[in-house]
Amino acid sequence: MAVTVTDFGTLENGKKVEKYTITNKNGMSVSVITYGAAISNIFAKDRSGKLADVIVGFDDLEGFVERTDYQGVTVGPYANRIGNGKFSIDGKEYRLAVNENGTTCLHSNGEFNTAVWDAEIIDENTAAFSYKSPDGLNGFPGNLEVKVEFSLTDKDELKIEYYAVSDKKTVINLTNHSYFNLSGFDSGAITDHEIMINADNFTPVDRLSIPTGEIRSVENTPFDLRKPKTIGEEIDSDYEQIAFAGGYDHNFCINDYDKTLRKAAEAYDKKSGRKLEVLTDLPGIQFYAGNFLSGQKGKDGKPIDKRTGFCLETQYFPDTPNRPEFPQCTYEAGEVYTAETVYKFSAE
Ligand code: BGC
């Protein structure tokens, strides 16, 4: 087990970017670059022990800068969408930068994923990434100090631990936006993967993908993924919610949320035998099936086509700052936000 650091290129502004690679005793490895604290590669074994890179994305810095659909990145201070680009805390309204449809703040206008993070090796299986978000950037209150620790255990678990603290009362919701393809990044559509999501309910959205406030049962809908189903089985159904988002791109309410770590989802690829389990202490998980991917040049120069990767983004529900009925993520000045997500790999 070891962490190695290599050069990953230089940005136009002269800032250098590095890649931290953690390898465990089974030969599995995870790489994270300092640009966007983005996961660039995960080499995981198939049922015959063969390693493949299961992260869909880029092998050059230019890809992460120019051709991004948030591949691999750490998202914050507020992951996912805030409707009408505003929210209020204690009667004070905060207006955010809007970067979707002229009204929505999506993924905090890309703040965290366009920053170069400081990084350090903590021990032989952990690297920590930190970033300071200035007060008022994109409209979010407070100077926010963020630290994200990535560890790879000998049980083939990638553990991501998030810490953040602000000097003003603010909203905090951090996630990782990796696109997975368990057959390997260059293996085409993920629609034949099986997916299971441990959720009796999901949050329906309007045409702009903003939650309506309803918590709807998944029963008798394409969102009933409580028993494994192939992603493709109902992804093109005419159920209105599927039609609005062009497939799965929704927040699921993880069963029995109580702020402790629990199983949120599982994906399985019959071809390779690779399995991915996702555990989190957060209340929600966005299952996004890569519906909007549209052929950007990815690793090995190959196009990243529609539905060739899927995301399982653990999170507070989208638009929580405007939805008092959802589990809340407003933190007092000095109050520490923590969250943990585990991506566990195996093969059978
Ligand atoms: C959103 C998608 C969006 C993607 C890339 C996901 O978190 O749910 O709608 O296309 O991020 O921006």
The helix/strand/coil state of 139 is helix
**Sequence-ordered alpha helix ranges (H) in 67-110:** none
Q: What would the CATH number be for the domain defined by 2-347?
A: 2.70.98.10
Contact 321, 87 (CB under 8 A): yes
- Rounded to the nearest integer, the mean pLDDT of the chain is 98
Let me know if 313 is a catalytic residue: yes
pLDDT of residue 93: 98
pLDDT of residue 265: 99
pLDDT of residue 1: 74
Pocket test for ligand 1, best of 107, 250, 294, 296 (most atoms within 8 A of CB): 107
Contact 303, 293 (CB under 8 A): no
Q: What lines the ligand 1 site, CB under 6 Å? A: 69-70, 80, 209, 249, 286, 288, 292, 313
Query: Of 106, 114, 126, which Cα lies nearest the Cα of 1?
Result: 126
Domain ranges of the chain: 2-347
Contact 57, 185 (CB under 8 A): yes
pTM of structure: 0.98
Look at ligand 1, atom 10, and give the residue with the nearest C-alpha. Answer: 292
pLDDT of residue 90: 98
pLDDT of residue 163: 98
Could you tell me the mean pLDDT of each successive run of 10 residues in the chain, 348 residues long? 95 98 98 98 98 98 96 98 98 98 98 98 98 98 98 98 98 98 98 98 98 98 98 98 97 98 98 99 99 97 98 99 98 98 98
